[in-house]
Amino acid sequence: MNGQTIVEALMLGILEGMTEFIPVSSTGHILLAGHFLGFESTGKTFEVLIQLGAILAILTVYCGRLWRMLLDLPRDRATRHFVAGILVAFLPAAIVGALAHDFIKTVLFETPKLICIMLILGGVVLLWADRWAREPRYHDVAKFPMRVYLGIGFFQVLSMVPGTSRSGATIVGGLLLGADKRAAAEFSFFLAMPTMTGAFVFDLFANRNILSGGDAALIAVGFVAAFISAVVVVRTLLGYVSRHGYALFGWWRLVVGSLGLLALLAGG
Choice among 1-5, 92-96, 200-204, 263-267 with the minimum mean pLDDT: 1-5
Checking if the pLDDT of 78 tops 80, the result is yes
152 alpha carbon, distance to own chain's centre: 14
Q: Which candidate, 206, 208, 186, places its Cα nearest to that of 198?
A: 206
Instruction: Provide the residue range defining the domain that includes 234.
Output: 3-266
Helix (H) or strand (E) holding 163: none
178 alpha carbon, distance to own chain's centre: 21
Domain count along the chain = 1
**Percent of the chain with pLDDT strictly greater than 90:** 64
Q: Please, which pLDDT band fits residue 263 given cuts at 50, 70 and 90?
A: very high
Q: How far apart are CA 245 and CA 237, in angstroms?
A: 10
Q: How far apart are CA 18 and CA 237, in angstroms?
A: 11
What is the per-residue pLDDT for 133? Answer: 66
Checking if the pLDDT of 212 tops 80, the result is no
What is the per-residue pLDDT for 215? Answer: 79
What is the per-residue pLDDT for 65? Answer: 93
pTM above 0.85, yes or no: yes
Neighbours of 107 (CB within 10 A): 11
Task: Give the side-chain half-sphere CA count within 13 A for 65.
Answer: 13
SS3 209: coil
